[in-house]
Chains A and B, each alone.
Chain A
Amino acid sequence: MIETALTDLWYGFGVALQPHNIMWCFIGVLVGNMVGVLPGMGPLATISILLPLTFGIKPVGAILMLAGVMYGAQYGGAICSILLNLPCHPPHAVTCLDGFPMTKQGRGGVALGLTVMASFVGASWGITEMIFLSPILVRVALEFGPAEICSLMLLGLLAGSTLARGSPLKGVAMTVLGLMLGIVGTDLETGAERFTFGMTHLDDGIELVALALGLFGIAEFMNSINQVVSINAAYTNVRLRDMRPTKADVKQAIAPMFRGTLVGSLCALIPGTGPTIASFVAYATEKKISKHPEKFGTGLIEGVIAPEASTHSSVQGDFIPTMSLGIPGDAVMALLLGALMIQGIVPGPQLIKEHPDIFWGLVASFWIGNILLVLLNVPLIGIWVKLLTIPYKYLYPSALFFVCIGVYAANNDMFQVGETVVIGILGYVLLRLGFHPAPILLGFVLGPRFEENFRRAMLISRGDILVFLERPISAVFIGLCVLLIALQIYVRIRGSKPPIEIPTVLEGAE
């Protein structure tokens, strides 16, 4: 088994090392790193803006680039958290707790240097996990019938909406709203037009890019305009030689690094628990096993390294269900899956077999991308730090233009730019009412496939809804769903509070 995995990986490196694929990967991680550093811009918005521009390139290059944006942004987000105390992206919120105190003590450079190291170790472990677990999962998943796929999707949707931030009820409501938005347009089986309200432009359904940019672009700008806290750039003059940790630092960082990696990879295996939860769990674990827990928050290396390693290990691990089962764990994964679907690739267990170049190329490119990121982050730290000081008043009008042209370029259709504006208003209203719009995307991407499989399962079982409980694998998934709901109710009744104080995160910028 190890042998086949290594042969496949070798093949993957062959794909990823083709010059144009390296180029796309490089562009992806560069843009991602840049955007991750910019306060107030999330990887979701960036991937959606770049999405229409990838229609022209081959699927492999497109997915390498978009995935590169995603993990590149993770590296950039850490810089923002450690030097500015600004948790631009939720997974890095805990990094602020000990990262910024380190910066104040003049050890910000060391924190950054060790973070790059921890990120690489975490990511490498996540990739290894992906290489060995995905083929096993696929072998199991190929036996699934429509009933199993349906229950699995249900589990994925429930986990994605209840385990994310905010109230679980609101999360589920957003997922259902997403499913509904996914239904808009012509029904594939009967040709009936649903919820188009007579607009022929909506016959093909709502455009993924328009939805994502409305929710995470326009709504986000409306939320942050004239609200952005003034940036404290007092500690941002970090130079390359400040980043070199001492031997004692490295020694202190190694154990938390591996513990964080382990936590992250475990979190990645539970559907719906993305990098944000992984980083919180890793921080809490470090604090619990530490001999001097009271010192956390004053600039301990452990408090920076463990969450960063776990974030990266879980980000890579999140690709496992996305690529091998076709079930995304969070909104970013949903968007990447959407990108593949636009390229005409059907997600699901058959993906690895039918498109080995995409899967193994992606795996290999993770390593190449992560090495590129280490190379980019160490010598270019000065440039990234400069980017931190770009004021929001220049950032959002430029980003707004990118949103417009991005949506237009998707289908050369001005109607969809208008669609984005409407979705943006809706997204802002939802944000103000305390909803997190990320699960909408999850429901939207899975919606059509969920309906298709549900119909098929019902047809095969002759309309017997109990089929979901009679088939053993499906029953396990349904059981997990029930367990998840029961757990949420239990937590709610007990009214437990999260164990650590969370610094305020810029809303929705995940």
Chain B
Amino acid sequence: MVHLVRNLVRKRDFYAGGLVIFFGLVMALKGPGYRLGTLMHMGPGFLPTALGIILIGLGIAIAGTAVTVPDGEDEDLLPANPEWFGWACILAGPLCFILFGSYFGLIPAIFTCVLVAAWGDRTATLKSSLVLAAVVTAFGVGLFSYLLQVPMPLLTWRGL
């Protein structure tokens, strides 16, 4: 039994199934709160609840079949060399876009977004990132502000 469990928690599919079960549970538990109705007059909660139950079943099947198959090549949850810094940079890019776009306008938004994102590459230098950010900013302003007229001020100050 202990062996079986140890075999299971090593498998990636075990966690994959777990995640699916989690989504299913959220839907199946929250669904009935929206009123189920009857089959003839379905309420807004009917389909979410049904889908949630199906998802739970699928999740159990995914996690369950993980026991029977031999180890695949890649059972680690994290890739061989995790790129925490790179991932953070990629996610920080759009966040910079939101922050600077809301308060300072399009130019700072593009510049910081590209600059921060470019930082994530291991071979990037400050100079190469700055040049790339400047080029993309010039191109982006030309295309989106002048040509396509996206309604966002180029430079503004909304206070903090």
Complex contact A404–B43 (CB within 8 A): no
Known contacts: A218-B90, A403-B94, A458-B40. The answer to whether A434 contacts B58 by CB under 8 A is no
Q: Give, as a whole number of angstroms, the nearest-CB distance from A448 to chain B.
A: 10
A171-192 contact mask (Cβ, 8 Å, vs B): 1 or 0: 0110011011001000101101
In Å, the complex CA distance between A440 and B4 comes to 32
B32-61 contact mask (Cβ, 8 Å, vs A): 1 or 0: 001100111111110110011011001101
Chain B residues whose C-beta falls within 8 Å of the C-beta of A170 in the assembled complex: 16, 62
Report the count of interface residues on B (CB-CB < 8 A).
69
Complex contact A192–B48 (CB within 8 A): no
- Beta-carbon contacts under 8 Å, B75-108 to A: 77-79, 81, 83, 86-87, 90-91, 93-95, 97-98, 101-102
Complex contact A225–B91 (CB within 8 A): no
Q: List A residues at the B interface (Cβ < 8 Å).
A: 53, 56, 167, 169-170, 172-173, 176-177, 179-180, 183, 187, 189-190, 192, 194-195, 218, 221-222, 225-227, 392-394, 396-398, 400-401, 403-405, 408-409, 412, 414, 417-418, 420-421, 424-425, 428-430, 432-435, 451, 454-455, 458-459, 462-465
Complex contact B101–A225 (CB within 8 A): no
In Å, the complex CA distance between A203 and B30 comes to 17
In Å, the complex CA distance between A400 and B91 comes to 10
Interface SS majority for chain B: helix
Complex contact B40–A463 (CB within 8 A): yes
Complex contact A459–B41 (CB within 8 A): yes
Known contacts: A393-B121, A458-B40. The answer to whether A434 contacts B30 by CB under 8 A is no
Residue of B with least CB distance to A228: B121
Residue of B with least CB distance to A191: B44
Chain B residues whose C-beta falls within 8 Å of the C-beta of A56 in the assembled complex: 148
Q: Give, as a whole number of angstroms, the nearest-CB distance from B90 to chain A.
A: 5
In Å, the complex CA distance between A462 and B91 comes to 50
Residue of A with least CB distance to B120: A225
Chain A residues whose C-beta falls within 8 Å of the C-beta of B34 in the assembled complex: 187, 192, 194
Chain B residues whose C-beta falls within 8 Å of the C-beta of A432 in the assembled complex: 77-79
Complex contact B23–A397 (CB within 8 A): no
Known contacts: A226-B121, A397-B93, A409-B148. The answer to whether A434 contacts B13 by CB under 8 A is yes
In Å, the complex CA distance between A400 and B79 comes to 22
Partner of A179, one of B51, B58, B113, B118: B51
Complex contact A172–B58 (CB within 8 A): yes
Q: Give, as a whole number of angstroms, the nearest-CB distance from A259 to chain B.
A: 34
Q: Give, as a whole number of angstroms, the nearest-CB distance from B147 to chain A.
A: 10
Known contacts: A169-B58, A180-B23, A433-B16. The answer to whether A397 contacts B117 by CB under 8 A is yes
Known contacts: A183-B48, A226-B122, A433-B15. The answer to whether A173 contacts B97 by CB under 8 A is no
Complex contact B114–A400 (CB within 8 A): yes
